[in-house]
Homo-oligomer: A and B are copies of this chain.
Amino acid sequence: MQIEKHKVDELNHQLSAKHTHQFEHIAADVNNVEGVLTKLGAFNVAIPSWALGTGGTRFGRFSGGGEPRSLEEKIEDVGVIHALNKSSSSISLHIPWDIPENATAMNVLAAQHGLHFDAVNSNTFQDQKDQKLSYKFGSLHHTDKAVRKQAIEHNIEVIKYGVQLNSKALSVWLSDGSNFPGQLNFRKAFQNTLESLQEIYEALPDDWKVWVEYKPYEPNFYSTTIGDWGQSYLLASKLGPKASTLVDLGHHLQGTNIEQIVSILLMENKLAGFHFNDSKYGDDDLTVGSINPYQLFLIFNELVEGMDARGMNHATDLGWMIDASHNVKDPVEDLLQSVQAIKIAYAQALIVDKAALVAAQNNNDVTLAQEILQQAYRTDVRPLVAEASLRNGGSLDPVSAYRRLSVREQLISERGLKTVATGL
């Protein structure tokens, strides 16, 4: 299915008077509102192919209806999201869950929805049917060179798929680690990982990047071989300029100051981008902005400040992706809520009075620095986000539009009530 633009326009029309009133109200208070709208309008967050179906936990999965049964249907779903929010213009594939048998056809289909392909993701945390060697004890860090070789080749194959799709980055998340003290030699595991990544790095096309994710625990519960930003940074430094560190918001110990890590990585020119989600405990993979929206704003505050300091293009110089699991919500609604939350945080960060903040920081005027940040955070920027969407042809209120257009009902009628998408 594909959402017809006139239907979105109709819904917008019904909200138009109210929106205009709200927008004008805030526009009067915001400096350079057109600049803010331009940046918001240019901002896109990739949708991962594995997040279009209902997720689960080790205790079970409660599937919803109308889940995409193929890569084509996943592209359709992202098309729906993008038609509504005009901020999800790309899809990030996960191999082997979504092998594009016919890359040309996929490129055409994506283009029909206004989409392109973002970073491709390898998977060595599961065994696939007919796989020769098992990843039970890891992949790129494995003690057995043959297993490492198999995992390296898988990554190189993923790059090849990516090249066909005009993707420009390989995103590597390894679950390699250990469950028990003594299981691993940490040093050798690190060195094996480095050597494996070096082989993959060698296979990268000139204009490609490799993004190295880190995570402290799960699915291994004693150690993870790329366990924190420092270890990822160390690998990325040794690999070279095409390698950098990907930050997944849920991949931190409780209490970690993520925004500080973001600032440091930006300073070192080693920040690849983000996997957005939210969490209260571990890698809970909840809707972005559903648990601690202020933290999300603080991260964007560092991003805007740090990217501007380097003269980076907000829209294109980092990788923006969602990585969440939707256990109790309609996945499309969850993704729509997530993108809205990201754009709200971004808008709030854009309207921070930077000059005043710098002055307050230089004076160690802590009270004032907080007032400045919270002045931006407490502002209701939703009309700015809505206006940016409207100007791009999107919906003023994507979640509500999705419901009013009965999209899920149509998907169920097309695909059936009992479908299970590939993914977690």
A residues apposed to B, CB below 8 Å: 25, 55-60, 62, 125-127, 134-137, 143, 175, 178-187, 190-191, 216-219, 221-223, 227-231, 233-234, 253-257, 259-260, 263-264, 266-268, 279-282, 284, 286-287, 289-295, 298, 301-302, 305-306, 309, 325, 327-330, 333-334, 337, 344, 357-358, 360-364, 366-367, 369-374, 377-380, 382, 399, 424
Q: How many copies does the complex hold?
A: 4
Residue of B nearest to A256 (CB): B253
A-B contact pairs, 17 of them (CB 8 A): A56-B58, A57-B218, A60-B219, A137-B328, A137-B364, A180-B369, A181-B294, A181-B373, A185-B305, A187-B266, A221-B279, A230-B230, A230-B231, A234-B268, A253-B253, A257-B280, A330-B367
- Smallest CB gap from A332: residue in B: B367
A183–B379 Cα distance when bound, in Å, is 20
Interface pair A180/B370, CB less than 8 Å apart:
yes
Cβ–Cβ < 8 Å partners of A373 in chain B: 181-182
Complex contact A182–B233 (CB within 8 A)? no
Query: Is there contact, CB below 8 Å, between A306 and B136?
Result: no
Considering the chains assembled together, what is the distance between the CA atoms of A373 and B260 in angstroms?
A: 29
Across-interface contacts of A229 in B (CB, < 8 A): 230
Residue A257 contacts which of B125, B222, B363 (CB distance < 8 angstroms)?
Answer: B222
Provide the bound-state CA to CA distance between A142 and B359, in Å: 14
Given A187-B263, A221-B284: A182 and B424 interface contact (C-beta under 8 Å): no
Which of B187, B254, B363 contacts A309, CB < 8 Å?
A: B187
Q: Which residues of B contact A379 (CB under 8 A)?
A: 380
Chain B neighbourhood of A222, CB < 8 A = 257, 280, 286, 291
Distance to closest chain B CB from A21 (angstroms) = 8
9 closest A-B pairs (Cβ-Cβ)?
A: A230-B230, A221-B284, A182-B369, A62-B136, A57-B219, A186-B263, A60-B126, A182-B373, A380-B380
A230 smallest CB distance to B (angstroms): 3
Q: Given known contacts A179-B327, A222-B257, A230-B231, what 6 new A-B pairs fall within 8 Å (CB)?
A: A60-B125, A60-B126, A62-B134, A179-B329, A180-B287, A227-B260
Taking a contact as CB atoms closer than 8 A, the residue among B62, B289, B370 that contacts A287 in the complex is B370
Among B62, B302, B357, point to the contact of A186 (Cβ < 8 A).
Answer: B302
Q: Is the CB of A255 within 8 A of B254?
A: yes
Contact, CB under 8 Å: A234 / B264: yes
Question: Are A328 and B136 also in contact (CB < 8 A) when A190-B264, A309-B187 are?
Answer: yes
Task: Kindly provide the distance from the CB of A368 to the nearest chain B CB, expressed in whole angstroms.
Answer: 9
Q: A134-B62, A187-B306 are in contact. Are A281 and B282 (CB under 8 A)?
A: yes
Please report the C-alpha to C-alpha distance between residue A289 and residue B180 in the assembled complex, in whole angstroms.
Answer: 11
Q: How far is the CA of A113 from the CA of B36 in the complex (A)?
A: 46
Residue in B55, B178, B260 whose beta carbon sits within 8 Å of that of A223 in the complex: B260
Tell me which of B58, B298, B369 contacts A219 (CB under 8 A).
B58
Contact A280 B255 (CB under 8 A): yes
Question: Given A182-B372, A302-B186, A60–B127 Cβ distance below 8 Å?
Answer: yes
Complex CA gap A62/B221 in Å reads: 15
Bound CA–CA A290/B223 (angstroms)? 13
Q: A379 to B219, alpha carbons, bound, how many Å?
A: 31
| A230-B228, A234-B264, A286-B180 given; A58·B361 CB < 8 A | no
Residues of B within 8 A of A125 (CB): 59-60
> Quick check: B180 and A217 within 8 Å, CB to CB?
no
Bound CA span A228–B232, Å: 14
* A295 surroundings in chain B (CB, below 8 A): 292
Given A59-B424, A370-B181, A370-B290, A281 and B255 contact (CB-CB distance below 8 Å): yes
* Bound-state Cα–Cα, A255 to B219, Å: 15
With A59-B125, A60-B125 as known contacts, state yes or no: A370 contacts B182, CB within 8 Å.
yes
Query: How far is it, in angstroms, between the C-alpha of A360 and the C-alpha of B180 when the chains are bound?
Result: 13
- Tell whether, in the assembled complex, residue B362 and residue A143 are in contact, meaning their CB atoms are under 8 Å apart: yes
With A60-B126, A60-B127, A329-B366 already in contact, the answer to whether A184 and B281 are too (CB < 8 A) is: no
Bound Cα distance from A377 to B348, whole angstroms: 14
